[in-house]
C-alpha cells in the first residue's frame, strides 16, 4: 500500500472531479469533514481547490460516538451532522458541499434539507486516494448512467438469474431510480466518487425470489469476498431465510438478527454497476481501513442487491448490506442489460 503522502496525481484527480462539477469562483464552497475523516483526502481536496483559485470554508464536526449494538460500516448514512444545526445552516447557504464525512451524506437525515436549499453535494467516498485517482469519472460514465436510468425507469420488471440458482423478480413500477456517474454540476443534486452504477429503490412488497451467493461474490459490509454459499430467500422484500452452513452465512444471520428489527431484513436497493475501470481484486489489495468498497459497487456487470433502509417503501433501519453478485443475467422486461456478468 502507498504511504499517505501527497502524490501530485492525487491532487490532479481531485481537480478533475471539481472541474467536472463546474465549481466557480463566485460560488460558496464548503469542505465538510469530521474528526475521523481521512485526513489526506481533506488535504487533497483543499490543495486542489487552492490550485484552481477557488476559496472555500472548512467545516469540521466531531465524529459521533458509536452507538451500542451492531457495528455500522459503509451504510452511506452519516450521523455526523446530528445535533449540529449551525453546520447544517452553513451547508444550506453553500453552492457546493465537498462531503468528506466518513459514511457520506447519501442517506443522512439532513441531506434533503441541504439539497432543497440548492446546494450540490459532491461526496468523496472514504477511499484511499490511490483508488480515487484510478477511478476519476469519465464523460462516458454519464452517458452510461443516463442510458441505464432511462431503461430502468421505463421497465416494469427486473429479473435476475444465475447458474447457481439465483432467480429474482422485482416489480419496478413506482420504483425510485438513480444513476450515479461521479460528479454533479446541478443545484440540489448529490453525486459520489467513485461511481458508475444504477440503484433503484423498489416500492413495498415488490421483491421476490432467491439469491444464491457463492464463492467470489462480495459482501461489502464485511468487506470480504464470499467463500461459501449463502442462499437468501426473499418474500415481499424481506429476507425470510439465510441458508448456508459456512462462515459467510453465519455472519450474515448473526448480524441481521443483532438489529432486532424486521426492517433490517428488507430490501433497500437493486441495480448494477458499469464502471469499466473498477477492479474486482480491489478488496484483496487494500486494508479494510483503506477502502469503503465503492469501487466494487460500481464493478461492471455486478448485480448489486442491498438490504436495509428504503424510504420509498417506508422502512428505516440502521443495518445495511451491499452484496454485489457476479456472473448474473439481468433483464428488464425480458431484455438483457447484463448477460453472464457482462453489461450488454
Q: Please report, as ranges, the residues that interact with Fe ion according to CB under 5 A.
A: 306, 322
CB nearer to Fe ion: give 275 or 306.
306
Q: Decide if 322 contacts 293 (C-beta within 8 A).
A: yes
CB nearer to Fe ion: give 38 or 107.
107
CB nearer to Fe ion: give 18 or 305.
305
Nearest distance from residue 226's CB to Fe ion, in Å? 17
Q: Which residues, other chains included, contact 343 with Cβ-Cβ below 8 Å and sequence gap of 6+?
A: 272, 274, 300, 301, 337
Phi-psi category of 260—alpha, beta or left, where left has phi over 0 and alpha has psi -120 to 50?
left
Nearest distance from residue 297's CB to Fe ion, in Å? 7
CB nearer to Fe ion: give 13 or 104.
104
CB nearer to Fe ion: give 130 or 322.
322
Q: Which residues, other chains included, contact 167 with Cβ-Cβ below 8 Å and sequence gap of 6+?
A: 159, 160, 161, 209, 210
Nearest distance from residue 82's CB to Fe ion, in Å? 20
Nearest distance from residue 308's CB to Fe ion, in Å? 7
Nearest distance from residue 303's CB to Fe ion, in Å? 13
Task: Give the residue from 315, 222, 254, 246 showing the smallest Cα distance to 69.
Answer: 254
Q: Decide if 304 contacts 270 (C-beta within 8 A).
A: yes
Measured at the CA of 218, the angle between CA 216 and CA 221, to 5 degrees, comes to 155
CB nearer to Fe ion: give 14 or 238.
238
CB nearer to Fe ion: give 306 or 317.
306
CB nearer to Fe ion: give 120 or 192.
192
Nearest distance from residue 59's CB to Fe ion, in Å? 25
Q: Which residues, other chains included, contact 260 with Cβ-Cβ below 8 Å and sequence gap of 6+?
A: none
C-alpha cell at 136: 476519476
C-alpha cell at 160: 435476475
Burial class of residue 261 (count of CB atoms within 10 Å of its CB; 0-12, 13-18, 19+):
middle
Nearest distance from residue 62's CB to Fe ion, in Å? 25
**CA-to-CA dists, residue 27 to 54, 55, 85, 125, angstroms:** 9, 9, 22, 23
Nearest distance from residue 296's CB to Fe ion, in Å? 11
Amino acid at each position: 500500500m502507498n504511504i499517505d503522502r501527497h502524490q501530485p496525481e492525487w491532487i490532479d484527480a481531485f481537480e478533475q472531479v471539481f472541474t467536472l462539477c463546474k465549481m466557480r469562483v463566485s460560488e460558496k464552497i464548503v469542505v465538510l469533514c469530521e474528526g475521523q475523516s481521512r485526513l489526506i483526502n481533506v488535504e487533497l481536496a483543499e490543495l486542489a481547490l487552492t490550485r484552481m483559485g477557488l476559496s472555500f470554508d472548512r467545516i469540521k464536526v466531531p465524529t459521533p460516538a458509536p452507538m451500542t449494538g451492531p457495528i455500522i460500516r459503509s451504510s452511506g448514512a452519516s450521523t455526523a451532522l446530528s445535533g449540529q444545526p449551525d453546520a447544517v445552516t452553513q451547508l444550506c447557504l453553500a453552492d457546493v458541499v465537498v462531503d468528506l464525512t466518513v459514511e457520506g451524506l447519501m442517506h443522512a437525515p439532513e441531506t434533503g434539507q441541504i439539497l432543497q436549499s440548492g446546494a450540490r453535494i459532491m461526496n468523496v467516498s472514504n477511499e484511499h486516494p490511490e483508488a480515487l485517482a484510478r477511478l476519476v469519472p469519465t464523460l462516458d460514465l454519464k452517458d452510461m448512467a443516463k442510458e441505464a436510468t432511462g431503461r430502468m425507469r421505463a421497465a416494469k420488471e427486473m429479473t435476475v438469474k444465475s447458474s447457481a440458482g439465483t432467480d429474482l423478480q422485482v416489480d419496478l413500477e413506482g420504483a425510485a431510480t438513480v444513476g450515479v456517474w461521479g460528479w454533479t454540476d446541478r443545484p440540489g443534486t448529490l453525486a459520489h466518487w467513485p461511481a458508475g452504477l444504477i440503484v433503484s429503490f423498489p416500492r413495498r412488497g415488490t421483491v421476490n425470489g432467491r439469491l444464491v451467493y457463492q464463492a467470489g461474490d462480495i459482501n461489502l459490509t464485511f468487506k470480504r469476498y464470499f467463500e461459501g454459499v449463502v442462499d437468501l430467500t426473499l418474500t415481499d422484500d424481506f429476507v425470510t431465510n439465510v441458508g448456508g452452513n459456512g462462515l459467510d452465512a453465519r455472519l450474515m444471520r448473526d448480524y441481521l438478527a443483532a438489529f432486532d428489527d424486521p426492517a433490517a431484513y428488507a430490501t433497500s436497493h437493486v441495480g448494477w454497476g458499469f464502471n469499466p475501470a473498477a477492479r474486482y481484486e480491489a478488496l484483496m489489495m487494500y486494508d479494510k481501513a483503506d477502502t469503503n468498497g465503492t469501487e466494487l459497487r460500481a464493478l461492471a456487470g455486478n448485480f448489486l442487491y442491498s438490504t436495509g433502509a428504503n424510504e420509498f417503501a417506508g422502512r428505516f433501519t440502521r443495518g445495511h448490506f451491499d452484496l454485489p453478485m457476479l456472473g448474473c443475467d439481468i433483464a428488464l422486461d425480458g431484455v438483457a442489460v447484463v448477460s453472464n456478468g457482462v453489461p450488454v
